[in-house]
Structure 1
């Protein structure tokens, strides 16, 4: 069991690929980073991402730009290997694939795009959409970290002592039966449920990295849990396994400073649909920088203007009884 930054480290291993287009990385799934008995989906993607970053570390395209993962089978807290292969290298982007395997069984398939997450000399227009433009997206959280009240993570999350988060009452109020998001026969669009929080790693040596963004993008409350009881009749303690997770890296992570915290981020999510089978639902997630650590006052009153979105993500999840989680976690070849 280890802090996140140590729990995601993989090591390159000898490969039988003579062409050099495929490399092999090995590691162990840390049992502390699980939901119940099953490794958290974002943590598993972080393991894959660490292998991809190492694969690209000696190339011209060192920054992850996008990754899409399909979770084929439930991963286990056991040794694993990641097979990373170059598909194509162009002038601006490199496409690679990565497969996470345990005991010869394919668990996760991923496709990643790498490049340079910065302005390019090829980019003559330098198009961006940032403040002070009135079309720019602003930080979605209402409270600043100094006044936000932190609380522990859920105890079914084995890593609950490694992090803490807050509650955004202004956002949660939109989900109430009389909230502003409710719709009627005359409504155009709208609906769904929202959620947000400040999230902070509690181990002092931690820092936000491209690898940890994979985990953070999966740290949102699922749509079924945000609905009032009237909209989820019969739902008891459940497990919400991730089926697909797609992540786009929007901006480079700024170094820790008086404007940006080192191990704290703002999280926001939106879910609009829940359908058959198995309470299938989607989530749209944003991961933002934070102006300070929790309990520490931001250095400027207009702290929102200095914050940037680090990543956006979409995922598909399903709803299963929690006992399924307990059963799947004991098998290295379990299927959903």
Structure 2
């Protein structure tokens, strides 16, 4: 039971296994704090895979994570795990790697990753009128804290402030609602500042997978009459697929960029069957200050922030009873995952 950084660092490499199988095997234990109900948070478990692969690539010329696509084949459990990593191709600019997370001899998550060299962005930056700007309205030093989701057992390790201006865009009377004459548009938006509360925490490339999977799902954001009878308070929103593109290196902590706070922006447009399938799109941004850190508002703070990553996923809406039915099991003996 540890803060995110420590929960990701509890990984070891079995060099002997690499000789036997051709895969490099990393192992560890899924921390019980980082779960939703009885099931580990999908973004957190993907962060464990990313941490393993980053260690695998650290001594190569392609050390920076560029892209990951993950398929969640089966929910994981609070138990030991192994990550089996192997190289598919080494090219001049990129290395392609695959990694599978295994528990109880079953592949629970399979991933394909691209590593390369991640440079700071140079094109389409402010003051260009084509540049994407930080999509949050309030500076984190003046943002009001918000409650987190009750079934998130990791809430003790984070705090956030949901952007009220974005939330208001989902109302019936918002000018963003569509009509028969509207071209495009629709869907719902959401955003927040999120801080990892332990003072020793730092945003890392591996932790971005957890951050990109921490948002309010579409059924919570639409009015009740638009939900088709779905009970949002008694539902679980498991991830089926998640892809992340890493846009820029994480800047070191400074007066312009916080060490353990990010800005999150989410847009969700389509929602339907089967199993309430919907399509969150998430941006992860740097923050100009830690959440609630006073006296930090400076002119031009918004245009100094950098988009660190964008993520897309396919998520479901299923009864929470499915989650509750997954009791954790005892960690099996080493080598018998």
Interval of TM-score (by shorter of Structure 1 and Structure 2): over 0.9
Aligned residues: 326
Q: Which residue of 2 aligns with 1:8?
A: 8
Q: Which residue of 1 aligns with 2:312?
A: 314
> What aligned pairs does 1:42-121 form with structure 2 within 5 A after superposition?
42-118=43-119
1:292/1:17 Cα in 2 relative to 1: closer, same or farther (>3 Å)? closer
Further displaced range: 8-17 or 280-289: 8-17
Q: Which residue of 1 aligns with 2:144?
A: 149
When normalised by structure 2's length, the TM-score is 0.93
Distance 1:275 1:331 in 2: 33
Could you give the per-residue CA deviations for residues 230-266 of structure 1, whole angstroms, max 9, x where no partner exists?
1113222210000000001000000000000000000
Q: Which residue of 2 aligns with 1:123?
A: none
Please, which runs of 5 or more residues in structure 1 have no aligned partner?
A: 120-125
Residue 169 of structure 2 aligns to a residue whose secondary structure is helix
Q: Is the 8 A contact 2:218 2:268 kept in 1?
A: yes
Could you give the per-residue CA deviations for residues 253-298 of structure 1, whole angstroms, max 9, x where no partner exists?
0000000000000000000000110110001000000000112233
Per-residue deviation, 1:17: 4.1
1:127/1:299 Cα in 2 relative to 1: closer, same or farther (>3 Å)? closer
Per-residue deviation, 1:146: 1.3
Q: Which residue of 1 aligns with 2:334?
A: none
Could you give the per-residue CA deviations for residues 153-212 of structure 1, whole angstroms, max 9, x where no partner exists?
223100111000002111011101121221112211100000000000011100000011
Could you give the per-residue CA deviations for residues 49-74 of structure 1, whole angstroms, max 9, x where no partner exists?
01100100110010000000000001
Please, which runs of 5 or more residues in structure 2 have no aligned partner?
A: 331-337
Q: Which residue of 1 aligns with 2:335?
A: none
Could you give the per-residue CA deviations for residues 90-116 of structure 1, whole angstroms, max 9, x where no partner exists?
111000000000010110000000001
Distance 2:22 2:131 in 1: 40
Distance 1:22 1:146 in 2: 46
Q: Is the 8 A contact 1:96 1:111 kept in 2?
A: yes
Q: Over the residues paired in the alignment, what is the CA RMSD in angstroms?
A: 1.6
Distance 1:31 1:295 in 2: 28
Could you give the per-residue CA deviations for residues 6-61 of structure 1, whole angstroms, max 9, x where no partner exists?
11121101344449952000000111000011000100100000110010011001
- 2:240 equivalent to 1:239: no
Distance 1:227 1:75 in 2: 29
